Chains A and B, each alone.
Chain A
Amino acid sequence: MGNEENVGKIIDYSGRQFKQIGTRVVRPDGVEKVTGKANFGADFKANGMIYARTVRSPHAHAKIKKINVDKALKLKGVKAVVTGADFPEIDVNDKAVGEVVVSYYDMAHNTIARDKVYYDGHVVAAVAATSADIAEQAARLIEVEYEVLKPVMTAEAALKKNAPVLHKHLFTQGVEPKPDKPSNLAARSQFKLGDIEAGFGQADVVVERTYTTQTVHQGYIEPHACVASITADGMVNVWCSSQGQFMVRAYVAKICGIEISKVKVTPAEIGGGFGGKTVIYLEPLAVALAKKAGRPVKMVMTRDEVLRATGPTSGGSARVKLGAKRDGTIVAGDMELTYEAGAYPGSPVMLGCMTGFAPYDIKNINAVGWDVVVNRPKAAAYRAPGAPVAAFAVESAVDELAEQLGMDPLELRLKNAAVEGTQAPYGVKFGPIGYKETLEAAKNSPQWKAPLGPNQGRGIASGFWFNIGGTSSAEVMVNEDGTVIVATGNPDIGGSRASMALMAAEVLGIPYERIKPLVADTESVPYSMLTGGSRVTFATGKAVIEAAQDAVNDLRRRAAKIWDVDLEQVEWQDGQAVCIESDKHKPLTIANIAAKADKTGGAISGKANINATGAGPGFGTHICDVEVDPETGHVTVLRYTAIQDVGKAIHPSYVEGQLQGGAVQGIGWALNEEYVYSDDGRLLNTGFLDYRIPVASDLPMIDTVLVEVPNPGHPFGVRGVGETPIVPPLAAVANAVSHAIGKRCADLPLSPVRLLSIIDGK
């Protein structure tokens, strides 16, 4: 510190004692949220606002023959109706280049159907009126004529010979020779290391089994909601909750055929996303209706619309084969995953193939993934997409392997644990990682030693997620009184605002309470990639740290001016400019310098626009204890411990919250959550009564252990933490139940009905 060369460099703080990082400060959105005053997507009001409702297909698979909107338009109070015809045609090959391949064609057609509908709940039309009641009445007056087609509701059905084909333009990718007929098999992917035949040849013990899971939803409590308005000269304003206001802007612009510069998106507080809000549903409809009606339009999804028609994650099957030597060395791993993508291609099956074996140093691996379309809603990301199902299979297989070898499942994992330098299944070698440390922490945890009684069982499982970096922007602005605003472009879905403020506070050396972090709209901060991939505390945090350092350098320059000394004379310590020749000049606080900002050159600020690299992967190990009622199949979770390498916990409470939240979602996935469809493809459980996410009384306190192996790619050692926690629980629960009943449970969810039939041997 203290010289010009450090401008723009990242200054490494790891190894230092932190003053504010790691403390449990009150989050800036806390008071508003607990008093019910926070503004979520549905809370926004605009002058002259009207209300919209959607018309959705009741059929899982059908051609749209005719839509008649005349009666709806005649109803008093109706201001506009839109159908697919009101949206620009998009080329079938139009894909977003760069990150994950996003098909704009699929996205646009998923938003509102054109000539076909592909799932129960697929939007066919939307109507806006002066009240929600009138909009609902009008929606019922819209007449749609369908030619109902046979649906395929499972991957198995979709892949049968002569199965109805959903998309005539879908030809399987990743197979040779390229098929000349379309099918429901969207893609095949494969990852290989070494030689699995040779590998299995060395094995003394081999286990092989097929595991199945069902479609589950991210289960955010806040339904999708937005308000859209458009001026007479075509400037669009959207207020919505999402995981990325820039993502919303880009997708709205594309689907509505408007220039990006004409769309402004303001983010609301978000009531859960978990990946399900990294895409959009209502916004283009609201914009199109606002354009036709000449009034701002509000749209809020009902719960049944959320479940029927927003992306759940893929259900699927996983066949896993593991081979090990007598001493426990795993010599080969073979995995075949089949995931249901929903109505359009793009399940996360590839990510499943890449992550399943990642906690282990296995020299010979083969992982094949099949992406299959079915007449269910298009899958969207759900916390570590693709990984939980693959990990369920692998971690169950490791458990079975431990049984066959007569080894403790924890010791078996320790023996094969990936460490720094281990080659991941996708070929890249790991940098510093903390997987082994999570296993050691599990060994030392109170739960591991707790005694078990009759009908009780313990399960342990591990998991991995890459974590990403990406484009993030930050501005640090110093107010006239020396307080500071930190503006970023990433919605806060886990307490990240507090972490941004803590990181800025650490660099600036001023108290956390003097910093106001905020999430800016698309016109007030440079472009930022959405919130997801466990990237915000890492990547946006890095941008905030750099922006704060930039501001510090600006402050130093002003101090140098005030004192009339060279910049090299000025150091920044604990929120003050300090002159190296300290007897000459007394220190200047940030408030002192800010008061003279006009005189020394104008407003004081720092900024950083980065594409953060150096993300560190996150490993977790979970322990689950259950008791099974052998006469009813009811499972009680007695104890649960979630252990994870988090790099450095900026705000420990929110990191713990991520571990607990992911664990709870995984427990629900394992025990009771599943989509239930009728034979003709209609979703039967469209509310939280029958789509059973856990309620608070279902669970014990989720104990957490934060292991900190710092990530050298971040100045404070941060690793992403949000996604890894949902990866281990499926197998942790299934292994526990399997041990409790003495039979292997390979099909989720382990609802009482399913479990009782396993217990009774049916």
Chain B
Amino acid sequence: MAKVVLPLEVARTFAAGETEHEFAARDVRELMRQLEQRFPGIRARLERGIAVAIDTEIYQDWFVEPIGPDSEVRFLPAIEGG
């Protein structure tokens, strides 16, 4: 099961403040489907300016990145820079 960590504000709105969850998903697309099932409306919120980190790699434009069985998946704000 992959550990999935939601941003604080999103967790407050959709998951009663609980940031850490477990999901068995083989990639980000499947994870989003499962998240939406458990927390309806969360997908639209996560698709706005949010990046996804899988273990040490941060993906700004995420879609179908693979998730390992022991991966840690974190949602964090997208970063641009100057």
Contacts and interface: CB of A to CB of B under 8 A. Distances in A.
A376 B1 CA distance: 49
A380 B80 CA distance: 11
Contacts of B13: 176
Contacts of A101: 48-49, 78
A275 B81 contact: yes
B65 to A, nearest CB: 8
B70 interface: no
Nearest to A429: B56
Given A428-B56, A428-B58, A100 B80 contact: yes
A431 B53 CA distance: 12
B61 A98 contact: yes
A350 B82 CA distance: 15
Contacts of A471: 61
Given A97-B48, A431-B56, A278 B80 contact: yes
B41 interface: no
B57 to A, nearest CB: 6
A99 interface: yes
A99 B62 CA distance: 10
Given A428-B58, A429-B55, A468-B60, A95 B48 contact: yes
B12 A176 contact: yes
Contact of A427 (B12, B74, B78): B74
Contacts of A427: 5, 53, 74, 76
A354 B82 contact: no
A96 to B, nearest CB: 9
A97 B47 contact: yes
Interface string A665-700: 000000000000000000000000000000000000
Interface in B38-82: 47-49, 53, 55-61, 72, 74, 76-82
B34 to A, nearest CB: 20
Q: Is the interface of A mostly helix, strand, loop or mixed?
A: loop
A468 B77 contact: no
B82 A275 contact: yes
A613 B59 contact: yes
Contacts of B77: 100, 189, 350-351, 354
B60 A469 contact: yes
Given A97-B47, A98-B61, A99-B49, A466 B56 contact: no
Nearest to B12: A176
A174 interface: yes
Contacts of B55: 428-429
Question: Which residue among A100, A465, A470, A535 has the maximum number of chain B CB atoms within 10 Å of its CB?
Answer: A100
A430 B56 contact: yes
A384 B81 contact: yes
Contacts of B53: 427-428
B80 A533 contact: yes
Contacts of B74: 426-428
Nearest to B81: A533
A614 B57 contact: yes
Nearest to B63: A611
A274 interface: yes
Interface string A351-364: 10010000000000
Nearest to B61: A611
B60 to A, nearest CB: 6
A532 interface: yes
B81 A532 contact: yes
A726 to B, nearest CB: 9
A100 B53 CA distance: 16
B82 A385 contact: yes
A534 interface: yes
Interface string A525-545: 000000011110000000000
A594 to B, nearest CB: 36
A354 B8 CA distance: 13
Contacts of A465: 81
What 6 A-B pairs have minimum CB-CB distances, sorted nearest first?
Answer: A275-B82, A533-B81, A381-B82, A101-B49, A431-B56, A428-B53
Given A354-B76, A428-B76, 12 more contacts: A97-B48, A101-B48, A189-B8, A192-B8, A275-B81, A278-B80, A381-B81, A384-B81, A427-B53, A428-B58, A466-B79, A468-B60
